[in-house]
Amino acid sequence: MFRGHRSVPYNERNYNEAKSKIASFQADMGGTEILAPLKAIFEMYKPKQEQETHVFLMTDGAVSNGNEICALIRQHAAPNMRLHSFGFGSGADERLIKTTAEAGKGRFYFIHNASEIFERVIKSLINTHLEYLVVKQLEITDTTGRVERFNFDDIRVTQGEIVEWSTLLDPGVQARAYTWILEDPNTKMLNRYNGTFNNVES
């Protein structure tokens, strides 16, 4: 859900607000509009280089401008901006679902029974959960007590990855301690990791 031009974190308050908004939606069975909402999303939200964004397209119908929709998605698709498509029921255009997901470098899902919705949607969210941390800053304290800080833009480390930081130091400097500041891209929370070893295991 968006508030203004920014997405909001998941919590009970925002969940209830989103649920209330959805309950107020009305459909007149007059057709399927996909292009305009996608344009608004892509114009409103442009992820930073180190952030990964997933757009979920859900439809139970068909459109006449599928090629135009795919061209728009392809224009904005990138390693950090992916689109996944869901087709609901027998009326969903199979070609549209597959081609939009392909253009968006994402996955596609078909849901024919209401009982499948929860399982399929949860599965897709699990598949898009990011299994890495983003290195934001490194603080190194040498044996004299001097602290050096290094800021980073887009360094990603996976669980258990060994990060060699000694190459950042000037020759002859003896490091005593370090502090990594890492961001979880799923929650945007910053975490500090302290240690005194030559290599850092995240």
For residue 13, is pLDDT > 80? Answer: yes
CB 109 within 8 A of CB 85: yes
Cα 196 to chain center, whole Å? Answer: 33
**Residue 201: its pLDDT value, please?**
41
**Residue 190: its pLDDT value, please?**
83
**Residue 193: its pLDDT value, please?**
82
**Residue 2: its pLDDT value, please?**
65
Q: How far apart are CA 171 and CA 185, in angstroms?
A: 34
**Residue 30: its pLDDT value, please?**
64
For residue 199, is pLDDT > 60? Answer: no
In percent, the amount of the chain with pLDDT more than 70 equals 75
Q: pLDDT per residue over 138-185, tens digit each?
A: 888 888 888 888 888 767 777 666 666 666 666 766 777 888 888 876
Q: Name the token pair of 158.
A: 């996976």
Confidence of residue 196 (pLDDT cuts 50, 70, 90): confident
Q: pLDDT per residue over 21-52, tens digit each?
A: 888 887 666 667 899 999 988 887 766 655 67
DSSP secondary-structure letter at 82?
E
CB 101 within 8 A of CB 107: yes
Average pLDDT, the chain: 79
Confidence of residue 200 (pLDDT cuts 50, 70, 90): very low
Q: pLDDT per residue over 111-146, tens digit each?
A: 888 778 777 777 777 667 666 778 888 888 888 888
For residue 74, is pLDDT > 90? Answer: yes
For residue 70, is pLDDT > 60? Answer: yes
Q: Are strands 147-158 and 199-201 parallel, antiparallel or unpaired?
A: unpaired
More confident: 185 or 62:
62
Domain architecture of the chain: domains with CATH: 2-20+30-127 (3.40.50.410), 132-201 (no CATH)
For every residue of 110-134, which 3-state class applies, written as one string?
EECCHHHHHHHHHHHHHHCCCCEEE
